[in-house]
Structure 1
Amino acid sequence: MTDEVPAAPGRIVLLTASHRVAPGLLSWPAWQTLRTADRVLCSDRDHPQLPYLREAGVTVEHPASVGAQDLVDACAGGRTVVVIPSGAGDGGGGAGDGTLTDGLARLAGSGRVQMPDLELLPGSYDLPGARLLDLVHVMDRIRRECPWSSTRTHKELAKYGIEEAYELVEAIEDGDADELREELGDVLLQVVFHARIAQDGLDEGSEPFSIDDVAATIVEKLIHRHPHVFGDETAETPEEVKAHWLRTKAVEKQRDSITDGVPLTQPGLALASKLAGRVRTAGLNVPLPTGDGIGYDLLALAAQAEKTGTDPETALRAAARTYRDAIRAAEERGRARN
């Protein structure tokens, strides 16, 4: 009497793919597994990967649903079955079908079933920055379907851009990493929102543009202004980098005055510091105007701060925070006495 050799348990492969990568761009191990599998199952007939699988000669079956027990039975005799979870590639995150994996876990936990080998095979991975595609997709849908967002204009959103920028600066000065991450997202939202509005091309006399145009513009600018990184020039110090930046910027803008491009709507101390910095960098001898009033005193202080490498706005905010803390301490003492 000979011992029976137990049948090989087979293999279940859950193939996942990032919906942020173009369908069909699968890894070589994924294609190898698909081509050699005994069966490939996908209950979603509209799955974005299917046209590329058909083109590669991979036969895909479309059961109404993929059950755990049926899948285990299909692996009998050592067969390999690949399951393409619904949602893996269309925005569902590609993490797999929760119902199926839960069912397989219950069977394995029962101890009554010889389970096939279970493998999670990533067919593609997110690239750095891939989640930005999600933001663009979500913003596009909100712009189409939200009654408030669908009617906003650049001018109506301008105040939010200012508010979010100030909140970002506050998060930086507070040193709160979680708050910084959130505020960076809020600023990024303003960029994507304005780009989506511009895509509609509703402003008279202006050409529509998209977030891709915005990104392309800044990429081109960054490459052009960093010849020491992307070109043949060299820069060993931050001062040399800044000189490259100012030189290429001057050629790009071809401005008539060093004051061109300085927004007059920014806070007064920042404006004064910026103008003083432009004068100093250009090597001009322009005496500060004098006159009666606190404004001229503040102008002189801002220019002196810029000369010493101090941002007057940051310095004043720091002093104001100290003053605020002193006010709160005085309030606490008053409440304690009462």
Structure 2
Amino acid sequence: MNTTSLEAVREPGPDAAPGRVVLLTTSHRVAPGLLSWPAWQALHAADRVLCSDGAHPQLPYLREAGISVDEVAPTAGELVDACAGGHTVVVVASGEGEPTLTDGLARLAGSGRVRMPELELLPASYDLPGARLLDLVQVMDRIRAECPWSSRQTHLGLAKYGIEEAYELVEAIEAGDRDELREELGDVLLQVVFHSRIAEDDPDVPFSIDDVAGGIVAKLIHRHPHVFGDERADTPEEVKAHWLRTKAEEKRRSSVTDGIPLGQPGLALAAKLAARTRTAGLDVALPEGDGIGYELLGLAVRAEAAGIDPETSLRAAARAYRDAIRAAEGVETRP
């Protein structure tokens, strides 16, 4: 462990070269030691490498690479002095990014009384798309372990929330509210991560969020042979044909109705049955019967054949009906 004071490298003097400060930032979402080549070059070429956090996850890997790191927390003035004489000092930033130090450097630069070294921000590792999902998994893991309510939840107990969040997501989509859409997508994502974390505790058939993600990745690749394989699809209809064909091969179902959840709303259920029947090329007459149910079934089948989602259409009409009711009550219409 190096804890040398910065006093040893001060070289005061009005004519001394101002030197260079490199603030090296890293992402905790990337494995320690996986730094960019420019970062390694800057570290090896530096006159001093400083880090205020003795427990920084990068330190063991830097020292393994032969880089001497001084565990000190310099002030802005001390850092400027350490660079005098043309020295290059690399500061390995903590997770917070060293705001006190950078604010101090900004004040010195703004004062006009100090000859400032060259300042460079060098990201040593970057978050890949989806990196914040790792944060969500870690947060959920801690909540599951420490929260008295979350630690006792089961798949069955959370089932109703999954349904509620899905409906709220659809409502946000239909309302066209982008902020609400982002929030509701997060709530749906939470359900996936929560159930996956609960599944890890199963004594007989445990699985994790990685198993869930791995499964859907494999499914997407297999069902898109026109993207990941040699097949070709130039139209949405051809894509759908690929999807249905590969899905049928995977499921090996005996009926086109297999896999259709009967617990979904009635109009959506009727439309799904009609879509499966039409796609399979079956000619099935609608059952005859008395009552509004058979009439609604006929309307749903007609809507599906015309490319209209009957559930969405009915919700739009219901919202118009709600607005009419509120207008009759003298209540302001809301989105």
**TM-score bracket relative to the smaller structure:** over 0.9
Q: Alignment partner for residue 18 of structure 1, among 15, 27, 39?
A: 27
Aligned equivalent of 2:134: 133
- Residue aligning to 2:197: 196
Write the distance in 1 (CA, Å) between the matches of 2:264 and 2:258: 14
Contact 2:47 2:87 in 1 (8 A): yes
**Shift of residue 5 of structure 1?**
8.1
Say how many residue pairs are matched: 320
- 2:97 paired with 1:78: no
* Alignment counterpart, residue 6 of structure 1, candidates 15, 26, 40: 15
| 1:143-292 alignment runs, 5 A limit | 143-202=144-203, 206-292=204-290
Aligned partner (choices 46, 62, 66) of residue 53 of structure 1: 62
The 8 Å contact of residues 26 and 93 in structure 2, kept in 1 or not, is answered as no
Q: C-alpha offsets along residues 77-120 of structure 1, whole Å, 9 cap, x if unaligned?
A: 11011111222xxxx5xxx1111112222323333322222211
- Opposite residue 287 of structure 1, the aligned amino acid is A
TM-score by length of 1: 0.91
CA shift, 1:333, in A, is 8.4
User: C-alpha root-mean-square deviation of aligned residues, in Å?
Assistant: 1.6
In 2, the alpha carbon distance for the partners of 1:333 and 1:79 equals 71
Look up the SS of the partner of 1:292 in the other structure: coil
- Structure 1 residue 319 displacement after superposition: 0.6
2:46 aligned to which of 37, 49, 57:
37
Partner amino acid for 1:225? R
Structure 1 unaligned runs (5+)? Answer: none
Give me the whole-angstrom Cα distance separating, in 1, the residues matched to 2:144 and 2:278.
45
* Secondary structure of 2:113's aligned partner: coil
SS at match of 1:189: helix
Q: Specify the SS of the correspondent of 1:322.
A: helix
Deviation of 1:285 (Å): 2.0
Give CA-to-partner distance per residue, 1:26-73, whole Å, 9 cap, x none. Answer: 11111111001000011212111112111211110112x222222122
Does structure 1 residue 119 correspond to structure 2 residue 127? no
The residue type paired with residue 243 of structure 1 is: A
- Give, in whole Å, the separation in 2 of the partners of 1:241 and 1:251: 16
> 2:29 is paired with a residue of what secondary structure?
coil
The aligned amino acid for 1:85 is A
How has the CA–CA distance of structure 1 residues 138 and 231 changed in structure 2, closer, same or farther, with 3 Å as cutoff?
same
- Opposite residue 60 of structure 1, the aligned amino acid is V
Distance (Å, rounded) in 1 between the aligned partners of 2:76 and 2:295: 78
Q: Percent identity?
A: 77
Q: TM-score, normalised by structure 2?
A: 0.92
Q: Supply the distance in 2 between the matched residues of 1:322 and 1:78 (Cα, whole angstroms).
A: 72
Flag structure 2 segments of 5+ consecutive residues without an equivalent.
1-12
In structure 2, the partner of 1:27 is 36
Kindly report structure 1 stretches of 4+ aligned residues shifted beyond 6 Å. Answer: none
Aligned partner of 2:102 in structure 1 is 101
Instruction: Report deviation, 1:276.
Output: 1.2
